[in-house]
Structure 1
């Protein structure tokens, strides 16, 4: 028991060690404390009174025993009502004189009733009665416990164990009325008591009232045997015992069954230091070792069943996270490259379409307008259109760049969090206001001299043509009609030349605008490409820095997880060896308990 108690402390069970220590102390005491248990009105008090031939138990009229009564040997009759410190206090604990209230032995029942009524309700009490009896002289103590209640499932078992513990019992007599079979709840109580109280005895009382008490005795033994309960069974009659004592009739005393019970109790008093102590130590040690081994086996089984411990699972998750991060690095680099290629193509296409629209508007304008007269009106429109083109293109490029950054950031794992740049990427390009002006193309002036020369050259043909025609009519070559025809042909020549010069100026203006717009397109396209490349480099550097930070953090987490997994594996291995060693040691104690019990049985 000392070894088992030390094991209880080792395994963090001070409560179990305390219970075993109390039982060990009681086993070393010379007294044999016998607890008499049973249900209501089963004859417990009469059994004790008949054993010692004294009315000391069940002496409160018309009341089931509520105050436990401890009956032991004394040189002269004496009785006290003992107030315990708490309901859980042992009845064997020493108390001061202030806690012991004397009772009148000549009128024990009324005295007990009076004193009990004067105390506050719920005060933990028990009666301590001493009588001079030979049966009690060798250390036998009889304890009349309160009746057990079987109304709540399992409550009777706990109540019986609690009563036995507080009473400091070494032996239990369970009292049941003859003629009534043992109930399932009672069998449960007996099974629990039989494990920790070797020498358990079931006493069938009131045998004188049973029609066939021998059959009841045999059935009770068979019921206990089927339940695996090692307990003795006997039948007694308190009425016959009282009559035999009064008449001094030994035969009637033997017929009452008390003679055999008294012999058994005396044998148990003599056997307590040796056989009973060994049997009790074996039973308690076996049960305690089994109780200690249960959590150890459960922990060891959990270690065996848990193929992948938490630290190893964390290491696997960390490895997977690092692999995902490496894959995401390839994905975001490919995504960024594809987005940049698409963006450059889209920007060039957008610029080209917008430039085509401006050129088409300029061609339409110069299809009718004279550049020499309307250039001052056209040039501000062209400058404003080109400026709006540049601003719109840069704004759209900035939005696409931010969208490209978000698309690239989506390639990172979710646990990476927000990996976008802290500020928006600046997209610059194009020239400042006023840089899109275009000087008017050089236009040859249509001077009066040129008009006069072209008019004379054209009128010459008209004069000759009309002069020859009129000469047939006898008129001179130069006449009013020929002069009028010359003037008409000269005016038409000037008009035709003027239209030719206008179309030439318009063509030159359209060519100049187209060339200029193409130059602006080339410049804006280059600026856009440069902006995209700058954004690409900025995003690449940013995401690469983020990737390096994430990889460094993942590598650090991997190193920590690896170290934790190694420590956990070592700790699990050490804990497993410790558990197996403890289970082996507990198995040795269990084997010793079994051997002690077998030697006691032999």
Structure 2
């Protein structure tokens, strides 16, 4: 019943691997099932070179089965197991590409066996005998009739390595995953090296039963201090591995002399007792621990892609349809702000344009009027009117053309200012039309009429001279009568002539000033009429431009809004669809992870103090 508990958990792990489509993990679980059901205890002896691994195995079984020496003696893994008759053979697996071999397998496959004479075992272990070029991984199998081996103990000697990866390169026979117990061998001449601690860290993460064997205690007087420091190193590194100090030399000497006390001093009774305990507890304690480890490994490997998928879905949520939906919403908000901006910009630019154009026209007409004032302060309209009329018409046309040209430039400027608010939507937002200078601007101006100007006729001059001379003749004539002269005399006549001429000149100047004032007033009215008419034309043109720009950018805004709405609808539909699919997938992932958590909890209960769970189902 005890066996059924961990076996049912292991079978449930296998079914979970199959449900997740992980054939590689399923193969590993099945191989672990075969290994745990095997009654033999497979002990893997690993460590760096020249630490006494081969001598350790010889001392355990009390037989010089593994070659030892100062050189590199162990090249191929050596499997020492029970046999009724001593035998040795080199077993070479098929090439890695051979048909029928599973990728990533850790269970030794049946290969080609080449018997090796017992006196040539050293050559076989050294890789110099029985290997076929181009074949797969090879190992040496040695059979001996020993009671400890007959009880089910299988010892595997490995080449000296300082990395776990090197063990896998040596072939599946030396893989820690195929071992029930792992012995890491390190001699007493030094403390555990960094490579050995790293190897222990890697192995203990995936193997529940690791022992550090400290050899060659007979060569170091303070081997106990070395062992204590090694225990501290293991504790600091978090490696849950006990240390067993031994001396193979004392063990072999004690066996030869049948000295029990010397055998006890060798430390091997403790190591062998540990191996016997592991052998007896393989079907229960070791199996439970192994199932807990493989459950953790399987759960981690199955949960990792699901956690990654959840994380990727969260990332896709930020960059997928949801992000496009948010982007469409932001674009809609930005378009509303853009609409407000371009409308305000258009209104402000048109208002500024009207004020500037009217001021410009007013300034130009004022300059013309100042020239008129200066001209007719001295000129006689009767003499200069024809030339002046031509100059005035030309000046007004030039003023109107300059004002119109500036209006065109300002309208183009205002158009580009409004279009600048659409810069994020592309450069092709300007209207397809443009203002031009009219060719008949002079014909559209009001015709100037010559004002009515009074002339100083000869009859008027005669009458004016007579009125002026009469007073002079009378005044001087009365004065000369006192002197006995007649009233009409040369003196009175001369004074009358002078006063008459002066009257004519004064009247002529007054008539000139009246003519100049009349012309100035007439021209002022004409220029005012010109200003009113041109201003009205400019205002009409500006309003027309404003309406055209309003209609153009309104249509452009509606097109952009329609595109954004369509994008928003598509993004929302895609987001809703993806959200539903993603939510369903997340529920499936969470359900699977919950099951994995339950499976892991059940596997951990096998080694915990809580009662073991009930059977998970029928055996596979």
Q: How high is the TM-score relative to the length of structure 1? A: 0.78
In the alignment, which residue of structure 1 is the partner of 2:593?
A: 583
What pairs with 1:150-549 in structure 2 (closer than 5 Å)? 156=163, 165=175, 168-177=178-187, 186=196, 189-190=199-200, 192-209=202-219, 234-246=244-256, 256=266, 258=268, 265=275, 276-293=286-303, 318-319=328-329, 321-409=331-419, 412=421, 415-416=424-425, 418=427, 421-423=430-432, 425-426=434-435, 432-433=441-442, 436=445, 438-452=448-462, 454-455=464-465, 458-459=468-469, 479-549=489-559
Q: Deviation per CA, 1:97-138, whole angstroms, max 9, x where unpaired?
A: 5xx77755424435765838x999x99864414334345467
SS of 1:421's equivalent in the other structure is: coil
Mapped to 2, the partners of 1:305 and 1:320 lie a distance apart of 20
Q: 1:42 aligns with which of 47, 51, 54?
A: 51
Q: 1:51 aligns with which of 57, 60, 68?
A: 60
Name whichever of 292-301 and 127-136 sits farther off: 292-301
Mapped to 2, the partners of 1:469 and 1:232 lie a distance apart of 165
1:145 to 2:177 alignment: no
Mapped to 2, the partners of 1:197 and 1:466 lie a distance apart of 156
Contact 2:75 2:126 (C-alpha < 8 Å) held by counterparts: no
Contact 2:217 2:245 (C-alpha < 8 Å) held by counterparts: yes
Q: Flag structure 1 segments of 5+ consecutive residues without an equivalent.
A: 150-155
Contact 1:430 1:524 (C-alpha < 8 Å) held by counterparts: no
Q: Deviation per CA, 1:359-400, whole angstroms, max 9, x where unpaired?
A: 121011011111121122212221221112112222222333
Q: Flag structure 2 segments of 5+ consecutive residues without an equivalent.
A: 1-9, 98-102, 613-620
SS of 1:62's equivalent in the other structure is: coil
Mapped to 2, the partners of 1:9 and 1:316 lie a distance apart of 41
Distance 1:560 1:435, change over 3 A: closer
Alpha-carbon shift at residue 39 of structure 1 (Å): 3.3
Q: 1:550 aligns with which of 547, 556, 560?
A: 560
In the alignment, which residue of structure 1 is the partner of 2:71?
A: 62
Alpha-carbon shift at residue 506 of structure 1 (Å): 1.7
Instruction: Tell me how large the CA RMSD over aligned residues is.
Output: 4.8
Name whichever of 204-213 and 587-596 sits farther off: 204-213
Mapped to 1, the partners of 2:82 and 2:24 lie a distance apart of 33
Mapped to 1, the partners of 2:212 and 2:329 lie a distance apart of 68
Alpha-carbon shift at residue 583 of structure 1 (Å): 2.4
Name whichever of 460-469 and 171-180 sits farther off: 460-469
Alpha-carbon shift at residue 343 of structure 1 (Å): 3.2
SS of 1:541's equivalent in the other structure is: helix
Q: Deviation per CA, 1:506-560, whole angstroms, max 9, x where unpaired?
A: 2222122112111110111101111121122122222322332333344334434
SS of 2:66's equivalent in the other structure is: coil
What pairs with 1:18-37 in structure 2 (closer than 5 Å)? 19-27=28-36, 32-37=41-46
Contact 2:176 2:182 (C-alpha < 8 Å) held by counterparts: no
Q: 1:106 aligns with which of 119, 126, 130?
A: 119
In the alignment, which residue of structure 1 is the partner of 2:7?
A: none
In the alignment, which residue of structure 2 is the partner of 1:559?
A: 569
Mapped to 1, the partners of 2:263 and 2:253 lie a distance apart of 8
SS of 1:351's equivalent in the other structure is: helix
Q: 2:128 aligns with which of 115, 128, 145?
A: 115
Contact 1:406 1:420 (C-alpha < 8 Å) held by counterparts: no
Aligned residues: 592
Distance 1:198 1:477, change over 3 A: closer
Q: How high is the TM-score relative to the length of structure 2? A: 0.76
Distance 1:592 1:343, change over 3 A: same
